[in-house]
Amino acid sequence: MRILYLGDIVGRPGRAAVKKHLPAIREAEALDMVLANAENASGGLGLTAEGAGELFASGLDGLSSGNHIWKYRDMPSYMQREPRLIRPANYPPGMPGRGFTVLQKPGLAPVALINLMGRTFMQAIDCPFRAAEAILAELDETRPDVKIRLIDFHAETTSEKASLGWFLDGRVSAVLGTHTHVQTADARLLKQGTAFMSDLGMCGPVDSCLGMSIQPILRKFLTAAPERFEVADGPVALTGAILDIDDENGRALAIRAWRFNV
């Protein structure tokens, strides 16, 4: 199976670029499935039910998220009824939504999509390593047929992301980092067949600070005064990674960093 996983979609420019170009990208890259992190897809921070619906209508097969997923009031109830959208699994019990899902497309092997969030320089939540082990044990018991297992690890530091990659090497198909909006140059296959990449980057404006307008962020750094951030204008790039995975055993065969300039 060939899967494209897109980095954080940022605001209207990111959503519009995905909508316009995804059909051609699917064909050009011979993709079986396209996934994305969407926690910044509405206004550059958070995700609305309308924004999520727009992304699914654009052809995305599944969406993961992160620490900003709770910003809009309509999102908790939307997550309860939309199984293709997940939030980090290591939030404490009782939070709305689900931390993993199984995606099934006609004629293709099922894919488990798992979302975790880091703790270093992030919110103090439950352990992502133990949450991963619990989810894999549940899948082994209830869905042993699901061999392809992908993890979006929404985390701040490369060290925590790399540690989770090695911790799960050979037990999942891929550990892919999101959150920093900067595509890293470390896409590789680990020793036991897990694909790894520290960060997929973002789908958003190129001339920006992580997708946001430059000047307010410069003023904040120069003055330390509060500023209102807005999504930048201008040219957009879509970034992520393309994975080739063995349907039979879930081992990754290849991973490559991917970029599309709009």
CATH number at residue 239: 3.60.21.10
What is the percent of the chain with per-residue pLDDT over 90, rounded to a whole number?
99
**pLDDT digits over 105-149, tens only?**
999 999 999 999 999 999 889 999 999 999 999 999 999 999 999
pLDDT at 242 over 90: yes
pLDDT at 91 over 90: yes
The pLDDT, as a whole number, for residue 22 is: 98
**pLDDT digits over 216-238, tens only?**
999 999 999 999 999 999 999 99
Token pair, residue 12, equals 């209207």
The residues that are catalytic are: 68
Model's pTM, two decimal places? Answer: 0.97
Q: Average model confidence (pLDDT) for the chain?
A: 97
SS3 labels along the chain? CEEEEECEECHHHHHHHHHHHHHHHHHHHCCCEEEEECCCCCCCCCCCHHHHHHHHHCCCCEEECCCCCCCCCCHHHHHHHCCCECCCCCCCCCCCCCCEEEECCCCCCCEEEEEEECCCCCCCCCCHHHHHHHHHHHHHHHCCCCCEEEEEEECCCHHHHHHHHHHCECCECEEEEECCCCCCCCCEECCCCCEEECCCCEEEECCCECCECHHHHHHHHHHCCCCCCCECCCCEEEEEEEEEECCCCCCEEEEEEEEEEC
Token pair, residue 184, equals 């890293």
The pLDDT, as a whole number, for residue 40 is: 97
The pLDDT, as a whole number, for residue 239 is: 98
The pLDDT, as a whole number, for residue 124 is: 87
Residue 244 lies in domain: 2-261
The pLDDT, as a whole number, for residue 114 is: 98
**pLDDT digits over 35-49, tens only?**
999 999 999 999 999
The pLDDT, as a whole number, for residue 75 is: 97
pLDDT at 9 over 90: yes
pLDDT at 7 over 90: yes
Provide mean pLDDT across the span 64-80. Answer: 96
Number of domains in the chain: 1
What is the percent of the chain with per-residue pLDDT over 70, rounded to a whole number?
100
Q: How confident is the model at residue 182 (pLDDT cuts 50, 70, 90)?
A: very high
Q: How confident is the model at residue 156 (pLDDT cuts 50, 70, 90)?
A: very high
